Amino acid sequence: MLTTHPYDDDKLREECGIFGVSNAQGAAALVALGLHALQHRGQEAAGITSFDGHSFHTHRAMGHVAGNFDKDEVIRALSGTTACGHVRYSTTGETALRNVQPLYAELVSGGFAVAHNGNISNAMRLRRDLIRRGSIFQSTSDTEVIIHLVATSSYRSLIDKFIDALKQVEGAYSLICMTAEGMIACRDPLGIRPLVMGKLGDTVIFASETVALDVVDAEYVRDVEPGELVIVKGSEIQSHRPFPPLGARPCIFEHVYFSRPDSIADGRSVYSVRKAIGAQLAIEAPVEADLVVPVPDSGVPAAIGYAQQSGIPFELGIIRSHYVGRTFIQPTAEVRRLGVKLKHNANRELIAGKRIVLIDDSIVRGTTSLKIVEMMREAGASEVHMRIASPPTRHSCFYGVDTPEREKLLAAKHDVTGMTGFIHADSLAFVSIDGLYKALGQPRRADNSPSHCDACFTGDYPTPLTDHDEQSTVEQFALLRERVGG
């Protein structure tokens, strides 16, 4: 089958978005609105869990928020003044309803629901240990490990059980949890994944991005700090910091691609940062050209910055259709080729005879860039230069972002010259890692350590990668046995 999102398939994908509401009449309706604003963070499935003071209610479904949570009867069934929700794009666990969040379980202390953004990098080891101790898993999601760790903790209070569970996990997580007593929101000690807090009168709201607060007319209060647990009972807020302070390492790709441009991340407008990256790219990689053309939609702010800095006119040389269905059935090779144009098509009259600078946010496998360059040439461009508003993506992410294996990343296999040849461009350049930090306005620290997680560019992973390392050891051992005939 042919996906009609051929360009999106060659993007890094954020795993999910989360949204929680405490102390609001019709809390689930607010959550549904918040999830609409976070739909870009996960388009595979969505779920909402509410609590009415007596019982928990959950509705989970495959597909988008619209169509699943726009029916009055669905929202009415999710009664209560507290609710949390989740939009999912899986990076761990199969695509199945049993993995759709929030996940819910009955513990000794009562009902417990959890919505998770991130990835636990030692989940498989923890899962094996828990199964040996008698735990019975109902999903293949790494998130369920947290529930079992809470359930099996020897501590007495639920908060102490929860903290005990978090101290055993590695990797990245932002969590919104619901109990009969209230809501808990927290981030991992490095703050790799985002989480913000807002207020709407006496209602307390948590969200992956500030844009979701805007949609429900809530006021942004602050970020949930790295390693912080915020406990909300009604409108009463308590803050706990059970972890020793560490240097924060929020994901740098939130600024490059993941977050909506109308969000605020790390205190800065995402849109303004992307324009600044484009301007820095123009300084570092100038080229003589007639037009600056963004690869829609994610390349637009950087292209504006590049055009303003370089003085080269900005034009929409590629037009994107926002009204494309999901799939064709059993296409021929020719239909597959033509299907690419359903979502993006060259503005031929504008392009013909021009020297074009294409601006995109990243190159992953390179297949998208190749098709875009070919599209420009077919439209009559005399030269096609490509400029990328991030450094080369040479390493996989293990913190809640869907990335190909490293051997499938174009920058892991080729230098810039080889990549240029692969995509058939006249030239190719990336913003430098130092240039990216300069555009962020947050340079490396005094000891030259990074202020963000930039592992996809540098390979500098800020946490252990237990499961990955164990899997690599197993694979290497198997390969050795095969070579020696063992």
* Nearest to 340, CA basis, from 10, 7, 9: 7
pLDDT of res. 337: 55
pLDDT of residue 96: 82
What pLDDT, in 10s, does the model give residues 258-269?
999 999 999 999
Q: For 288-305, what is the mean pLDDT?
A: 96
Do residues 257 and 298 touch, judged by C-beta distance below 8 A? Answer: yes
The answer, yes or no, to whether the previous bond of 297 is cis (omega within 30 of 0) is yes
The values of phi and psi at residue 202, to 5°, are -90, 5
Residue 26: both structure tokens together:
């019709």
Residue carrying the six token digits 């479904």: 61
Q: Which amino acid is at 135?
A: S
Lowest-confidence region among 53-67, 182-196, 316-330: 316-330
What would the pLDDT profile of 416-427 be if each residue is shown by its tens digit? 999 999 999 999
Q: What is the DSSP string of 280-307?
A: HHHHHS----SEEEE-TTTTHHHHHHHH
Q: Is 13 exposed, middle or buried (0-12, 13-18, 19+ CB in 10 A)?
A: buried
pLDDT score for 423: 97
Which whole number is the average pLDDT over 429-443? 93
Picking from 89-98, 104-113, 305-314, 415-424, which range would have the lowest pLDDT averaged per residue?
89-98
2-16, 77-91, 381-395: the lowest-pLDDT one:
2-16
Distance, in Å, from the CA atom of 180 to the CA atom of 53, rounded to the nearest integer, reads 7
pLDDT of the residue at 486: 44
Helix (H, G, I), strand (E, B) or coil at 354: coil
Enzyme catalytic residues: 16
Query: pLDDT band at 9, cuts 50/70/90?
Result: low
* Model confidence at 62: pLDDT above 90: yes
User: Taking CA 373 as the corner, what is the angle to CA 43 and CA 414, rounded to the nearest 5 degrees?
Assistant: 85
pLDDT at residue number 94:
61
Q: Mind listing the pLDDT tens digit for each residue in 232-285?
A: 998 899 999 999 999 899 999 999 999 999 999 999 999 999 999 999 999 999
List Cβ neighbours of 75 (8 Å cut-off, separation of 6 or more).
26, 28, 29, 32, 69
Mean pLDDT rounded to a whole number for the chain: 90
Q: Give this prediction's pTM.
A: 0.91
